[in-house]
Amino acid sequence: MQSNQTSSELPDRHIVLFGVGHTNAHIVRMWVQNPVPRTSLTCLSDGPTATYSGLLPAVLSGQHSEQDMQIDLVKLCASAGARLITEEVSAVDLKLRQIQFKNRPAIPFDALSIGIGSVPTTAGVRIQDHAPIVAIKPMRTFLQRLATAVDGALQRTEKLSVAVVGSGAGGIEIACCLHPYLRNRKLKSYSISIISATSEVLPGSGQGVRRKIREFMEQPDSKIELITGLRVVEVTPSHVELQNGTTIKADIVIWATGAAAPSVLSMFDLPKDDHGFLLTDRTLRTLSGHPIFVVGDSGSVHQNSFPKAGVYAVRQGPVLWENLQRLLSGRQLTEFVPQKSFLKLLNLGNAEAIGEWKGFSFRGRWVLKLKDSIDTRFMQMFRNLMNRDYSSTMQCRGCGCKLSSDILKSALNQVGTQQSGETPLLTENLTLDDGAEVLLSGGQSLITSTDFFTPPLTDHWLNGRIIAQHAMNDLFAMGATVRGALATIVIPEGNSETQQQMLAELLTGIHHELDSAGAKLNGGHTIVGPRCEIGLTVFGEPLSGELIRKLNAQAGDFLYLTKPLGTGVLLAAHAQARCQADHFEELIRVMLQSQQQASAIAVHCGVIAGTDVTGFGLLGHLSEMLVAGQCAATVELNRIPQLRGAEELIGEGFESSLTPANRRTELPVSVLAQHPNAATIALLYDPQTCGGLLLCVPKRQCHSFEAAFLAESLPCPVRIGQIVAGSPRIELV
C-alpha cells in the first residue's frame, strides 16, 4: 500500500532535508497536512528516529520512557509520503545540486535545508585514549552510551565519580537528573560534580534562577559539587585536569559544553563563521545564494547573534516552511525575527523544576508540570499525524499485489481446454516449481524465472534491491545459481530528469544485488505507464545434477524455514505510517538477506524438495508442495519465526490485501493445537516479499544442515514441522 499520493505523475521539484531536528521536523509535519504540489520530499538522517531534547532530562530521571522523547521518522515520513534515507552522506555537489552517498546513488535537490545540529566543543582540551567521555550529543544515543559507560566503570570501582563538564542548561539538567538515574540503577555510592569554565552557572540567566540552582545543589539529598571559573584542559582514563593543575577523579565524564560545528559541515563549500557554522542571511538562506537554507544550531545568521538553543530552532520552522515554497515559486523570501526572551524551564529530577521568564524566577512541582505539558504537547503534534486513519482497501504492493492463487490456477486450467481434446496448460506444460527448466544441447539446462510487482517503498534504490533479491530467490529455491537478468520497468509520466533519476536508482539497486550474487544485468525493457512497476527475469544453472523441486517432498522430511514471517503485514502497516522504526529496520534487513548461501548449503546436504515463501504465504506454498508430492504435513505453531511487531499489528487489524485470498487454500487445514494463537495462524497466510526458503530436509541430514549454517555464521533455519504420509492436508499443532 501507499498513502498520501494524489497523482501518478512524477514530481519535477525536489526538497531535501539534511537532518530532521526541531526545524526540519516541522517541514515534514506541515507536509503531511498540505504537501507542496509537484514536489518530492526526502529526509536524510543518521538514524530512523529523532530525539526531542526537551524530554531527555525527564527520561534520564525516569519520569518518562525513552520512547516518549523519540520522533519515529519512519512513521513520520511514511505519513508524509516522503523518502527517508539513513545512509551516510559523502559529499555535496553544489554545481549539480546533488547529495552524494558512499553506498547509494546521488539524489538531486532544488531546495535543501541543513539542520544537523551541533556537537559539544572540545577546543583546547587534551583527550587521552580511553578517556571515559560521554558526549551529550548526539542525544539519540546518549542514554545507551551512558549506560554502557556506567556498566564499564562499575567493573573498575565501587564508588562512581561522575563529572559533568559544562554549566549551561543542558549540563545543569543532566547533573540534577543523574541522581534518580543512578539510584534507579541501584547505586548507593556515587558523587556528581559540575565543572564550569565560567564564574557562574547558566550564562545568560538572571541571578534569581542561578541562586535557586545553587540552593538545590546544596541540599543534602541532591548535593552536587560545583566547580566554577576553571576550564578543563585534559581528560584521562581516571580523572580530569583543570587549568590550575587541580585533578578531579572521574570514572565518567559527561561532556555538555557549548556548541561546536559538526565535522560534516566542512563538506559544504559555503560561507562559514569563525566557529565553522554556516552563515545565512535573515531569511535563513546561505549567503552564497545557493537554494540552501541552514537552520537550528547548524547556522549562524549574519550580524544577528542569538544563542544556539532549541527554542530558536522550533521558531524557525514556520519561516523555513514559508521560504521553501517561496523559493520554488520565485517569490521574495521572508525574514526570521528571533524573540528577545523566552521561557526557561529546568528539570531538577525530583518532581520539581526551576523556571525563568523575563527576569522572574520560580521553583516548584507546578513548574515541572508546566514543562511536562509543553514538552508532551510538542511531541503529541507528531504522534497525532502518525496515528491518522488511512484507507484499508488500497491494494498492497510488493508481493502483496499478486493475483490470488485460485484465480491464477483457474485461468491456467482454462488455457487449452477451450478447443476439444487439448490438455490444460497447467497439467501438461507447466510445473508448480519456482522456475522453469529449459533443456539445452549437450545435456545442460537453463533455469529461469520472472517476478514483477509494484514497488512497496518510496526509496527506489531499496526497491531495486528488493526486486532483485525477490526474483533471485526463485532460482535459489530450486538449488540454482543466478548468472544474469533482464529488467522490465514501467516509469510514470513526468519530466525527463525525474524519470531518469527514478530509473537510475532502480537499476543501480538491482545491479547492486545481482553483483553481490555474481550475476549481471544483461538488458531489459522500459515503458511509460500510470504507476511505477518493476520486474526481473533471472536465469542461471543448477548447482548439482538434481534440482530442488516441490514434488520431491517425502514422508519423514523435516520442514525448515530460513526467514521469519511478517513482511506483508509490516509493509501494509508501513503504507499507513504505523510500522515503527525499529521494526521497519529489521524488515528491510531481513528482506535484503540473500538466500544464496542457504541454497548452496541445502544442495550440499542433499536437499531435493523445497520452495520459497512469497505471495501466497507459508500455507499456500506448502500446499503446492503437498499437492505435487501427494503427502501431508504438520506445522508447529509455536516454532514459527516472526518479524518483530507482526503479531501486534495483526491484532490491531492490519493485513495485506492479498491475505483474504490466501486463506482460500486448496487443502484442508486442521488446527490441532490446544491453545492456538490466532495472530500466528494469520501470519501463515501473510504474503511475503523476499521471503525465506521452505526446505524439506531428510532426517539423517538435519544435524549437518544446521551445523553448516553455524559454521558460516548464518542465521540458522527454524525447524517448523514435518512431512507425513497421507492425502494432502495440513495440520497445525
Q: Which residues are catalytic?
A: 399
State how beta strands 49-51 and 70-72 pair.
Answer: antiparallel
Residue with cell 515503458: 527
Tell me if residue 417 falls in helix, strand or coil. coil
Backbone region of residue 375 per phi and psi (left: phi > 0; alpha: psi in -120 to 50; beta: other values): alpha
The Cα–Cα gap between 120 and 108 comes to 31
- Distance separating alpha carbons of residues 523 and 534, to the nearest angstrom: 14
**Secondary element (H or E) of residue 452:** strand 445-453
- Contact between 170 and 346 under an 8 Å Cβ cutoff? The reply is no
Complete DSSP assignment for 137-199:
-SGGGHHHHHHHHHHHHHTT-SSEEEEEE--SHHHHHHHHHHHHHHHHTT--SEEEEEE-SSS
Beta bridge partners of 346: 354
Residue type (1 letter), 305: S
Nearest to 114 by CA among 291, 304, 274, 275: 291
Q: What is the dihedral of CA 718, 720, 723, 724, to 10 degrees?
A: 140
The C-alpha cell 508481493 sits at 399
CA pair distance 334, 542, nearest whole angstrom: 65
Q: What is the Cα–Cα distance from 43 to 85, expressed in whole angstroms?
A: 6
Cα(509)–Cα(501) distance, integer angstroms: 12
Contact 515/508 with Cβ under 8 angstroms?
no
User: 449: Cβ–Cβ under 8 A, 6 or more apart, which residues?
Assistant: 434, 435, 436, 471, 474, 475, 537, 538, 539
In sequence order, which ranges of 348-446 are alpha helices (DSSP H)?
A: 365-386, 405-414, 425-428
**Measured on CA atoms in the order 612, 617, 621, 626, is the torsion positive or negative?**
positive
**First-to-final CA distance of the chain:** 33
At residue 160, φ and ψ (nearest 5 deg) are -85, 130
Q: Cβ distance 190 to 222 under 8 Å?
A: no
* Three cell numbers, residue 243: 587549568
- Quickly count: other Cβ atoms within 10 Å of residue 577's Cβ: 24
Q: What are the cell numbers at 170?
A: 543542558
By the 8 A CB rule, do 559 and 684 touch?
no
- Asked whether 550 and 609 are in contact (CB, 8 A), the reply is yes
Q: Which of 581, 643, 588 is nearest to 47 (CA)?
A: 581
The SS3 assignment for 725 reads coil
